[in-house]
Chains A and B, each alone.
Chain A
Amino acid sequence: MPDRVMFGEDWTHYDMLPVGIIVIRQDYTILSWNDCIADWTGIPKRSMVGLNLRERFPHLDKPLYLTRIAQVFSGGPAVIFSSHFHPHFIPAALQTGELRVQSTTVVPVVAGDGFLAMIVIEDITDLSRQVRAFREMKNVAERELEERKKAEEQALRLAAIVESSDDAIVGKTLDGIITSWNPGAERLYGYAAGEVLGKSLAILLPPDRSEDLPVVLARIRNGESISHYQTRWKTKDGRILDISLTVSPIRGVEGWVTGASSIARNITETKRMEEVLQQANKKLNLLNSITRHDILNQLMGLRAYLELSKECAKEPLFIEYIRKEEQAAENIGKQIEFTRSYQDIGVKSPAWQNLPSTIREAIDTLDIKQVALEIDLPQIEIFADPLLQRVFYNLVENAVRHGEILTTIRFRLEDKPGRCVLICEDDGVGVPAGVKEQIFKREYFDNTGFGLYLSREILSMTGISIRETGKPGQGARFEIAIPRSAFRSLS
């Protein structure tokens, strides 16, 4: 492109050029409109020469253009209008209707004592399209690279976890062929990876567990996971281990189950300790029962003698002493009865229990026909001490006994972040504001035994809490908060 063009009357030689060329005077009168721009715009030369460019293309009649093009008319440097900021300097459509992308340079043309402006327009539609496509491709590639890098880092982290885990982590096909075997598996089963890769997992099954593998693999094929399944597997040297097994399906890129990974934890020692603990508990319970029996026998004797003493005593002071002794004997009796209830808590392992059924079974043992019971609960199970039924028995029995104006007891469930809350509420007189916490203390009640204290103890065995939140005079309201890990839906 020439730095500066000398003015001449004949502009036809610019018709040969593959760029759009428009020559204008300082007043924007069009002197030349070459064939190329005529072709692009569909406006013939004869229609444009002599017209005012600003009037024909009013978007150019702005200081943004006028100020810069004015520099050219005063002999200043050429002016560039890039395609990004001015993509359609002279709007010209392609056959598709899409506007051509233009890169425009305005250069001075010497004309006598002054200057004309030559507007040179290049069609860079293809270049622009290619660059943008390339950018898009590059951005996609960069994003993919970034994602791959993250995935690789994640895989390395996971691999490090698998490598360093004490648990035996084993990959297998849907036919039970071992595909990966971590150092934890080597330590647990005694086989080196090289000995088992490509072999069937059946080598780990003792004869009485030979059915485990097909059952587990069938569930995995269905996309199910298996959590904390307790079984017994065999080591290389023939020892039988108690293990807790979690098996998850491995899915391929298309989402199909292609294999399984299992995490096995040796719980042999834990099982042994559990058995020892259960034996110790049994012995303690036995000792407790015998001692309680003996104390109650002695207490019976004591009460008989106190009764006899009452008949013999004439002095009011002695009679008062005997009354106090009887009261003390009564308290000893209650405390001994409490040990009978308390000794069973935590003896048996917690278990999943159907919540609505457990509540109904508890209530069935009570004679409360005069009170309406509403159990508005979904089918869920909660993981709790086997004495759970006792908790609901206590709640309902307490409500009936202390509710006075009670007509209805209602059980319902509220879903809260991280937990669900079982609500037991009634329309009785409620719990006075000052004793909402004391009612859970062992020494609180004179006559009602230790119901709420025991209830809290039973629930706490599996992390469940209970508190009273009702408004005095409007009924009691017990909130039993069950952590996510301790409930599951059956629906």
Chain B
Amino acid sequence: MEPDAGDVDAIRELINIGVGRAAGMLNDITGCAITLTVPSIQIVEYAHFSKETGKEKDAALSTVSLNFRGPVSGIAALVFPPESAAHLVMLMTQENEGSGELDAIRIETLKEVGNIIINAVMGSIANILRQHLSYSLPNYQELGISSLARSLHTQVDDRVVIANAHFRIEKTPINGNILLILEMGSMDALLTSIRGMDH
């Protein structure tokens, strides 16, 4: 099943509902003015995604990920270049001094931020599926996108939803990506649920 423009729009809205809720929680937790939006998404085949990311796919990225399994299976991940991840954490924790490197405590903080965002997005998706998904524990890794996909035994025709996540923390913009790598057949199940909503 090929996603049409309406499907893409619906998935973008689902993700935006999730990240909006996540931004509210992050505001409460950090006490910072945080906005989080996903202005655009792309849905591509993994083969295409792999080709597009090119050399970057093996560049180490700071990744908080979560595997999910059920009628829709795959990986949800929040991905940043490491320096952006450290900057994001330092803005949220209002650390003004020192260099932006990820140490164990900052990684733990980033895991919570990623956990809030991914859980909110997966909450939106699970709501529309009206079926239960089971999840792994959230995981933090510094690895390339190809390694992340390999851990899922990704097939070339698996689908990847790439959502550009725009953070704005106390007026400072930081960009990252929310990736949903869906295993074979999962996109069909998701689209069926979305189209079912229309009727």
Interface residues of A (CB under 8 A from B): 1, 3-4, 63-64, 67-68, 71, 75-85, 103, 105, 107, 124, 127-128, 131-132, 134-135, 138-139, 142
Please report which residues of chain B, range 97-123, place their CB below 8 angstroms from some CB of chain A when the two chains form the complex. 97-99, 103-106, 108-109, 111-112, 115-116, 118-119, 122-123
> Which residues of A have CB within 8 Å of B118?
77
**B138 located at the interface, meaning its Cβ lies under 8 Å from any Cβ of chain A in the complex:** yes
**B136 located at the interface, meaning its Cβ lies under 8 Å from any Cβ of chain A in the complex:** yes
Apart from A68-B116, A77-B119, A77-B122, list 13 A-B contacts with CB within 8 A: A67-B25, A68-B119, A76-B126, A77-B66, A77-B115, A77-B138, A82-B112, A83-B105, A83-B108, A84-B93, A85-B30, A105-B137, A127-B104
Assembly CA distance A81 to B109 (angstroms): 8
B134 to chain A, nearest CB (A): 6
Q: Could you say which of B66, B99, B135, B137 contacts A142, with CB atoms under 8 Å apart?
A: B99
Indicate if the CB atoms of A1 and B28 lie closer than 8 Å.
no
Q: Could you say which of A67, A107, A131 contacts B137, with CB atoms under 8 Å apart?
A: A107
Assembly CA distance A68 to B21 (angstroms): 11
> Which residues of A have CB within 8 Å of B66?
77
Indicate if the CB atoms of B115 and A80 lie closer than 8 Å.
yes
Assembly CA distance A105 to B108 (angstroms): 11
A184 to chain B, nearest CB (A): 42
Question: Could you say which of B30, B66, B103, B123 has the most chain A C-beta atoms within 10 Å of its C-beta?
Answer: B103
Known: A63-B28, A142-B98. A84 touches B109 (CB 8 A): yes
> Which residues of B have CB within 8 Å of A80?
108, 111-112, 115, 138
Indicate if the CB atoms of A3 and B136 lie closer than 8 Å.
yes
Q: Which residue of A lies closest to B110 (CB)?
A: A82
B92 to chain A, nearest CB (A): 9
Tally B residues with Cβ within 8 Å of A: 31
**B132 located at the interface, meaning its Cβ lies under 8 Å from any Cβ of chain A in the complex:** yes
Q: Could you say which of A4, A105, A127, A135 contacts B98, with CB atoms under 8 Å apart?
A: A135
Known: A1-B137, A77-B138, A80-B115. A127 touches B25 (CB 8 A): no
Q: Could you say which of B111, B122, B136, B137 contacts A82, with CB atoms under 8 Å apart?
A: B111
A-B CB contacts (within 8 Å), total count: 81
Indicate if the CB atoms of B28 and A64 lie closer than 8 Å.
yes
**B29 located at the interface, meaning its Cβ lies under 8 Å from any Cβ of chain A in the complex:** yes
A83 to chain B, nearest CB (A): 6
- 24 of the cross-chain contacts (CB-CB < 8 Å) are A1-B137, A3-B137, A4-B134, A64-B28, A68-B116, A68-B119, A76-B122, A76-B135, A77-B68, A77-B115, A78-B138, A79-B115, A79-B119, A81-B112, A82-B112, A84-B93, A84-B106, A84-B112, A85-B30, A85-B112, A127-B105, A132-B105, A135-B103, A139-B97
Closest 6 pairs (CB-CB, A-B): A82-B112, A77-B135, A80-B115, A139-B98, A84-B109, A80-B112
Question: Could you say which of A67, A78, A81, A132 has the most chain B C-beta atoms within 10 Å of its C-beta?
Answer: A78
> Which residues of B have CB within 8 Å of A103?
108
Interface of A is mostly: mixed
Assembly CA distance A124 to B68 (angstroms): 28
Indicate if the CB atoms of A138 and B99 lie closer than 8 Å.
yes
Q: Which residue of B lies closest to A4 (CB)?
A: B134
> Which residues of B have CB within 8 Å of A81?
112
> Which residues of A have CB within 8 Å of B135?
3, 76-78
> Which residues of A have CB within 8 Å of B115?
77-80
> Which residues of B have CB within 8 Å of A78?
115, 135, 137-138
Assembly CA distance A411 to B132 (angstroms): 96
Assembly CA distance A80 to B114 (angstroms): 9
Indicate if the CB atoms of B119 and A71 lie closer than 8 Å.
yes
> Which residues of A have CB within 8 Å of B68?
77
Q: B133-152, CB under 8 A of A: which get 1 and which 0?
A: 01111100000000000000
Indicate if the CB atoms of B103 and A134 lie closer than 8 Å.
yes
Assembly CA distance A84 to B134 (angstroms): 28
> Which residues of B have CB within 8 Å of A127?
104-105
Assembly CA distance A128 to B108 (angstroms): 11
B106 to chain A, nearest CB (A): 8
Assembly CA distance A4 to B68 (angstroms): 12
A292 to chain B, nearest CB (A): 78
Indicate if the CB atoms of A84 and B137 lie closer than 8 Å.
no
Assembly CA distance A107 to B66 (angstroms): 13
Assembly CA distance A79 to B115 (angstroms): 7
> Which residues of A have CB within 8 Å of B138?
77-78, 80
> Which residues of A have CB within 8 Å of B97?
139
> Which residues of B have CB within 8 Å of A124?
105, 108
A145 to chain B, nearest CB (A): 11
Indicate if the CB atoms of A138 and B98 lie closer than 8 Å.
yes
> Which residues of A have CB within 8 Å of B112?
80-82, 84-85
Indicate if the CB atoms of B103 and A64 lie closer than 8 Å.
no
> Which residues of A have CB within 8 Å of B122?
76-77
A114 to chain B, nearest CB (A): 11
Please report which residues of chain B, range 51-107, place their CB below 8 angstroms from some CB of chain A when the two chains form the complex. 66, 68, 93, 97-99, 103-106
Known: A76-B122, A76-B126, A77-B115. A131 touches B25 (CB 8 A): no
A9 to chain B, nearest CB (A): 23
Q: Which residue of A lies closest to B114 (CB)?
A: A80
B93 to chain A, nearest CB (A): 5
B123 to chain A, nearest CB (A): 6
Q: Could you say which of A64, A84, A107, A128 contacts B25, with CB atoms under 8 Å apart?
A: A64
Q: Which residue of A lies closest to B137 (CB)?
A: A78
Question: Could you say which of B93, B126, B135 has the most chain A C-beta atoms within 10 Å of its C-beta?
Answer: B135
Q: Could you say which of A64, A77, A85, A138 contacts B109, with CB atoms under 8 Å apart?
A: A85
A408 to chain B, nearest CB (A): 61
Q: Which residue of B lies closest to A77 (CB)?
A: B135
B4 to chain A, nearest CB (A): 30
